[in-house]
Structures are given as structure tokens and as C-alpha cells.
Structure 1
């Protein structure tokens, strides 16, 4: 789409305001930046504790484990969620975490397993709609609000974050940062370097929660009704 008469339009506004058209916005230098001070000196273990506490506040199950025991933990969580069917991203990190084989063996335990396939978009959505459990990986995790940052990719469909009834998010311990400030900084650096930013960046804080004007909490209106965060000792 072509923008027409933009310069004339902006010049007319500038003339009415009695000032020239600005072609560049200078980044302000703030005297105080309190957003950078929150949990600034917290260790990774301290951030894990903050995340764990916040998970209680947002009705999210928190589990901490090692890579070696991750398959057993996942097996337990999937069983607790009723099994039935599991959908996952197509992601090499599952192999790194040692759970790829466990996923492929799910049908032997009577659980339907589907891996996202960028070549079959309609089937992906159909499988996500009927899936009982979705398993994803957090790119960055905000301890202060217990928020997982999930990014879209041809192998990581965005509907995976909304359609399954329950969600399990794998969280590498090294991905945990204090708050939204660090996530915004990371995205800004990507843009400055000319790197492609995902078309969808979802910040998910536990299961779907909505409250009406009388503060009556409703779970599952626009997303999973249950969520489990599994923090993996990856350092």
C-alpha cells in the first residue's frame, strides 16, 4: 500500500502548530530509571524463588527439576492433567532437554501425540483445538510477574498458546530475568541489530484469568484453564 500526500499533510499540521516537521525523535535521557533497579542484584536462585512465589499468586503449578529427571517430571504432569492428547512445537531444544524420545513414545502409553508441522497449517489448528495439553518453551521468563515469553515461528504456531486446554511451559533457569524491562531491552537490541523480530510475541502469565466488574474470577475464557511451569537447571 502506498502512502499518498503524506508530506503535505504533515506540513499543514506543522504549520498550524507553528513548528517544523520532526524527522527524528531523540531518545530522552532520564534522571531516574527505577525500572532497572527492581531485583537488580538478585542471583539466579533468588529469581527462581521470586518466580515460584508469584506462580502461587497466578494459580500456576511450579516445578523445578534437572534435565536428567525432566522426562519423569513431564510424564507425571501429563498424567495429572489426564493425558489423552499432547501437542508440541517442532523444536530442537526438546532433543537438547532429553525429552524428544519421551514425546515420541507417548502413543505407547495411549496418549495421542502431535508435533507442529509448518507444511500443514490447517491440520495444525485442528490438532491444537482438540489437544488436552500443549508443551512449549519460554524464550525469557519474567520472575516478578511469573510471565513466560513465547515467540512465534513457522515451527511454533501461535495457536499452540491458546487452544489446548492445559499448557506446560519449559523454562530454562538461565532464561529467568527480573521483569518486563529486560524483555523490552532484548527486543530493542534485536531491532537495532537489524534482526527479524517474531510477528507474535506473547507474554503469558499462567492460565487464562478474567474478572468481571464485580471481581468474580473466571478461568479459561480465552486460553488454557491450567498451567504448569517447569524450571530446568540448565546452567
Structure 2
């Protein structure tokens, strides 16, 4: 909730010695190369761009369909240690046919915790202990290999930072050329009066840092290992 917004803006306008503006006119640029990059690329071509970029960001990228997804996910979980998993509370897991997969984890001695908005402290504790985080990309940027993740009451942002390994499910329909299209989608949501996430995370593979003598170190401030699973959904 924004309080005293008008008074705040009027004070700024007064200090600048001009009337308060009620709208900003969007400039029209003669050249807009950001819209031309992969402009006519098909969804299959964007998948190939994403797969190629994943090689540069130290991320394993797999492609499957909903029928094979449970087996593929199980294999990735086992490859990442399969000790403990944290997931958001998301109906799309059921739509992807993963309900049974999640149910049998207990019989495999794999702990599974689903984010619970009524237990904020327990959520963080579970995220700290989890070996694997499994989440779903809202929009995926082919050019940079970036998964756009929205935080909300059913999907806390600590899920994306604390576990050692992260598995991102990427519906093929979410793949767009680059950040330009992702920003457009968010802008459209705002114009339509939709509630925007309090935290929009753009995750490009595992955490990387080359601040010290330009030496790349993976896993400094987040997941050490990232796996993208592209799901043929269109």
C-alpha cells in the first residue's frame, strides 16, 4: 500500500520548481534493436538457443514431454543427491503429472517439504536444510538462459538461494527471445491491474562470481548446481 504518494510527489515537483507531472510520455526511438533479436525465431529455434546458452552458464539442460517428465525429474533428483526437496505450493505440478512422483519420495527416504504460507519460520528452516529446490519458470529468456521466477505467498524467494541444487521446470511455452519480451509481459500485467510479485528473480544458472581477480567461482551466494528441464507443452 502506498501512503501519501501525492504529497510526496508534489513536494518533489515544488523543489524542482515545476508542476507535478501526472503521466510520462513514452519516447519513440528510431532504432529498436532489442525487438529484432530472434524476432522471427520459432519455438524450436528458441529451445536450441536456450540449450546452447546453458553450456555457457554451467547449467544442465534437458528436454522432455509431460509423459516422460516424472522419470526425467526422478533421475535428476537422484543425480543431485536426492536427500531432501523443497517445492512451492503450485497446482502446475499436478498438471505436469508429478503428484505420484512426489508421493513416493517418502518411500525412497527423500524428505519433501511444500512451502506453507502459515509457517514462515519453518519455511526458511526447511529451505536451509533442503538439498534440492524444484521450481517452475514463469518466463524463460533464450538469449541469456535465464529463468524468471515470481515470489509469492506459496513460493518464497529463499527457495531459490538456500538449497545447494536447483531444478527449474521450463514449459516450452514460456520461452521468449530475451529480457525485452519478459519486461513487456510484466508491463502488460501492470496495465491490466494484475498484482505483481514482490520479488521477481531472474536466475541465470547457478550463482557465479568473478569479482576476485576475474577468477570465476560457482556457488558463492546461491545454488552450486542448476538443471533446466524443458517441457514440451505446445
Could you say whether these structures have the same fold, taking a TM-score greater than 0.5 normalized by the shorter chain as the test? yes
Gaps of 5+ in 2: none
Tell me the equivalent position of 2:200.
201
Distance 2:109 2:158 in 1: 24
Distance 1:6 1:97 in 2: 47
Deviation at 1:23, TM superposition (A): 3.7
Classify 1:20/1:232 alpha carbon distance in 2 versus 1 (closer, same or farther; 3 Å).
same
1:7-18 superposed matches below 5 A: 7=10, 10-14=13-17
Partner-residue secondary structure (3-state), 1:169:
strand
Partner-residue secondary structure (3-state), 2:220:
coil
Partner-residue secondary structure (3-state), 2:196:
coil
Deviation at 1:197, TM superposition (A): 0.6
Distance 2:187 2:8 in 1: 31
Classify 1:80/1:13 alpha carbon distance in 2 versus 1 (closer, same or farther; 3 Å).
same
Distance 2:87 2:50 in 1: 24
Tell me the equivalent position of 1:179.
178
Distance 2:149 2:121 in 1: 21
1:19-34 superposed matches below 5 A: 20-34=19-33
Tell me the equivalent position of 2:143.
144
Distance 2:117 2:15 in 1: 48
Tell me the equivalent position of 1:118.
117
Does 1:222 pair with 2:221?
A: yes
Deviation at 1:214, TM superposition (A): 1.4
Deviations 1:160-203 (A, max 9, x none): 11111100000001110000000000011111111111101100
Tell me the equivalent position of 2:48.
49
Partner-residue secondary structure (3-state), 2:67:
coil
- Structure (1 or 2) with the larger CA radius of gyration: 1
Distance 1:70 1:5 in 2: 52
Deviations 1:53-81 (A, max 9, x none): 00000000000011011111011111111
Q: How many pairs are equivalent?
A: 231
Partner-residue secondary structure (3-state), 1:83:
coil
Classify 1:195/1:6 alpha carbon distance in 2 versus 1 (closer, same or farther; 3 Å).
closer
Classify 1:228/1:9 alpha carbon distance in 2 versus 1 (closer, same or farther; 3 Å).
closer
Contact 2:170 2:231 in 1 (8 A): yes
Distance 1:8 1:183 in 2: 34
Gaps of 5+ in 1: none
Tell me the equivalent position of 2:57.
58
TM-score by length of 1: 0.94
Segment of structure 1 superposing worse, 35-44 or 204-213: 204-213
